[in-house]
Amino acid sequence: MKRLVSILLVVTFLFALAACGASGGASPTPTAASGASAAPSATPAAVTYVVGTSGSFAPFCFTDTDGTLTGYDVEVLRAVDERLEDVSFTFKTFDFDGLFLGLDGGSIDFITHQLGKNAERESKYLYANEPLGFTSMSIATRAEDTDINNVKDLEGRSILITATGVPNTWLTKYNEETAETPVVLEYYEGDWVQGMQLVVSGSSDATAAPAVNIDTAIKDMGLAVRRAPDPLYTVDVFFIYAKTHTALRDRIDAVLKELKADGTLSAISRQFLGDDYTSLT
């Protein structure tokens, strides 16, 4: 009987020892299900990308009276910024030629400046797939010149354009392939407003400028110009990236689609451009 009791005591002791060993060893590694005992994960810092633009290209990108950079292009990117938690944008302003020098030199990551596509740029840079909006390139004449309504009416007359702009390419092709009498192409250096001021002074019959800029010059600056009803052409405009930024391009494209779908892009366009210039379709 004593032998049986001794055996039972030994067995009980061994079970107790095994239980202590299971609970007294190293604690298991915490997991997300461990609640307060789990170590908090660090939030990664946002990656900052430098955007090249202009401080004097109203109403797309300009510095307001408070010294704040704003405009359609700028505010669209700020809306994109709000939806990408791990991405941040900072803006750097240049004159137009400096934008591409900055992209080539690596001081900026991408450009926003209402830029359409052309073969030379597409060979060197990475275009967005999703348009930022569109530009309606139009004819500005003196207010009293109501007989110029389209490019056909310009044949045999003069138009002021910049040598490096898309209107030069488009009108040169028109003269070569379509015109019965060539449009006389005259060149100047300056912005849209300077071109319109030269037309008002009588230097040329017309100039080419985005419809938005012509309307702004009439409404806000009181320039005595008129926008011809038929545009020269209408094209989508895009962000242009350094070739290495495919992943960034794709992420911004996706957010632009969201902003179009929920009406945010349209609201920004109406605020700065006076109408919805977000989609050609």
pLDDT in tens, 199-221: 999 999 999 999 999 998 999 89
- 279 within some domain: no
Residue 171 shares a structural domain with residue 253: no
Residue 180 shares a structural domain with residue 249: no
70: closest CA among 49, 54, 81, 88?
54
State the Cα–Cα distance between residues 104 and 107, nearest whole angstrom: 8
Q: In CATH, what number is assigned to the domain containing residue 94?
A: 3.40.190.10
Residue 99 shares a structural domain with residue 229: no
What's the distance, Cα to Cα, between the start and end of the chain in Å? 98
The pTM assigned to this predicted structure is 0.74
pLDDT < 50 regions, the chain: 1-41
- 109 within some domain: yes
Provide the b/e sequence for 218-227 (b: ≥16 CB within 10 Å). Answer: beeeebebbb
State the Cα–Cα distance between residues 53 and 108, nearest whole angstrom: 10
Structural domain containing residue 182: 135-234
Residue 125 shares a structural domain with residue 148: no
State the Cα–Cα distance between residues 80 and 69, nearest whole angstrom: 16
Structural domains in the chain (count): 2
Q: What value, to the nearest 5°, has the Cα angle with vertex 16 and ends 14 and 20?
A: 115
Residue 139 shares a structural domain with residue 230: yes
State the Cα–Cα distance between residues 281 and 270, nearest whole angstrom: 17
pLDDT at 118: 83
Residue 66 shares a structural domain with residue 178: no
Provide the b/e sequence for 68-93 (b: ≥16 CB within 10 Å). Answer: ebbbbbbbbbebbbeebeebebebbb
pLDDT at 1: 42
pLDDT at 44: 63
Q: What confidence tens digit (pLDDT) does each residue in 184-195 have?
A: 999 998 888 999
Residue 216 shares a structural domain with residue 254: no
pLDDT at 113: 93
Residue 152 shares a structural domain with residue 229: yes
Q: What value, to the nearest 5°, has the Cα angle with vertex 25 and ends 19 and 28?
A: 110
pLDDT at 281: 63
Residue 187 shares a structural domain with residue 201: yes
- 62 within some domain: yes
